[in-house]
Amino acid sequence: EVQLVQSGAEVKKPGESLKISCKGSGYSFTSYWIGWVRQMPGKGLEWMGIIYPGDSDTRYSPSFQGQVTISADKSISTAYLQWSSLKASDTAMYYCVRQYSSSWYPPFFDYWGQGTLVTVSS
Amino acid sequence: DIQLTQSPSFLSASVGDRVTITCRASQGISSYLAWYQQKPGKAPKLLIYAASTLQSGVPSRFSGSGSGTEFTLTISSLQPEDFATYYCQQLNSYLSYTFGQGTKLEIK
């Protein structure tokens, strides 16, 4: 069974750093792109970026370039999303997603993690 | 960037109704569109990919159509468990994706 299991909720202060994780299981972790999606309180979904754990090729949405870092450790089938200096506006739910890609269909996000709630408040 | 506009943003309907949600892209995206359903406090769930292909396990009352710049998600006969928020997503721009703003489907 394919699963993406994310790390638990975090409460941080502005200016602090943070790294949240997403562990994949039940499939070949290095063969699928893993992405991150933000959902601010009461708002819609925003695509942040994506990484291919097989070679660490990483792409960012222009809105998030330079604001976060996406990485992966294929030895433990885990992807990460990190901030070096959090802001109150980073308060949101963050989801990791698996991208299914094939020669036959356009890509899509077939599995989602349960979400990690990040709260940034002084 | 490719923008997606969903309409309506809010929809009130009754059990048994047929409803349609539209998603318009700012430029042509072929069939590179997916639809997701999100219930309160839960992660989104894939319903439709490649504009019209039903994800395994999704009830057949859900269907998708369209190509290019205009797409629709139709629920043929609303069930109580279908009241949720629906999002379209374009995956045409290589590794640069966007979501629509969402359509909240509420019980009338």
Please tell me the distance in Å from A114's CA to the nearest CA on chain B: 6
Which residues have C-beta within 8 Å of that of residue A32, sequence separation ≥ 6?
A24, A52, A53, A98, A99, A100, A101
Q: Which residue of B has its CA nearest to A117?
A: B41
Q: What does the pLDDT look like over B41-75, one tens digit per residue?
A: 999 999 999 999 999 999 999 999 999 999 999 99
Cβ distance of B46 and A46 shorter than 8 Å: no
Tokens representing B91 are 């995956």
Cβ distance of B99 and A45 shorter than 8 Å: yes
pLDDT in tens, chain A (122 residues): 999 999 999 999 999 999 999 999 999 999 999 999 999 999 999 999 999 999 999 999 999 999 999 999 999 999 999 999 999 999 999 999 999 988 888 899 999 999 999 999 99
Q: What does the pLDDT look like over A42-54, one tens digit per residue?
A: 999 999 999 999 9
* Eight-state DSSP code of residue B93: S
Contact present, A108 and B99 (Cβ < 8 Å): no
Nearest to B43 among A44, A108, A114 (CB): A114
Query: 3-state DSSP: chain B helix, strand, coil percent, rounded to 5?
Result: 5, 50, 50
